[in-house]
Amino acid sequence: MVNILVPTDFSQASFRLAEQAVKTLNKEVNIILFHIYEMPSGISDLIRREPPYAQMINDTFRQNCKYLKYKYPELINKICFKYLTGNTQAVFNHFTDANDIDMIVCPEDYVFVKTNKTSIDPVPFFKKSKIALLKDLSKSKVAAPADVEEMNLGAAQVALASA
């Protein structure tokens, strides 16, 4: 089983990226959706009520995770979200070691989208790491809304299919 790190901005594009990676690898994987944030710089940052990703992990995000797992049950063992707070290569390397990351999904045309004022572009960390990068995703087409199979998933189906 391969543990793959997929950068996320919590959008439909992130789920399409994860889906393309699963289809390209065509073997059982654990998907870790990943985002990096700056270290808190002041006391007010340390005592904030909720983490910077709190608004982003909503029902749509959860349903999209369930949808992917349902669509590829033989290929996706687990899908989860993890974040890193830090801005050094050493911190990133410790994160990847601690999470047994085998591969990082980072296509050549990946565009980082900042979701919070403390969001950090992960690509420089990816490129400096010693972990294999999945840069060339297969050209297989991700199902368009009209091509999505009818599955009894309610909101999950609607959320990913409406991308």
Cβ neighbour number for residue 59 with a 10 Å cutoff = 10
Mean pLDDT throughout 29-36?
A: 94
pTM: 0.77
36 beta partners: 84, 120
Asked if residue 149 has pLDDT above 70, the reply is no
* 115 against 66, higher pLDDT: 66
Q: What is the pLDDT of residue 54?
A: 60
pLDDT at 148: 35
Please tell me which residue, 89 or 58, carries the higher pLDDT value. Answer: 89
Between these two residues, 38 and 140, which has the higher pLDDT value? 38
Smallest CA-to-CA distance from 99 within 31, 22, 163, 151 is with: 31
31 pLDDT band, cuts 50/70/90, is very high
User: What pLDDT digit, counting tens, does each position of 50-84 carry?
Assistant: 666 666 666 888 899 999 999 999 999 999 999 88
Q: Which of 22-26, 38-42, 54-58, 133-137 has the lowest mean pLDDT?
A: 54-58
For the domain covering 2-161, report its CATH number. 3.40.50.620
The pLDDT, as a whole number, for residue 88 is 93
79 strand-pairing partners: 31
Q: How far apart are the C-alpha atoms of 37 and 122, rounded to whole Å?
A: 9
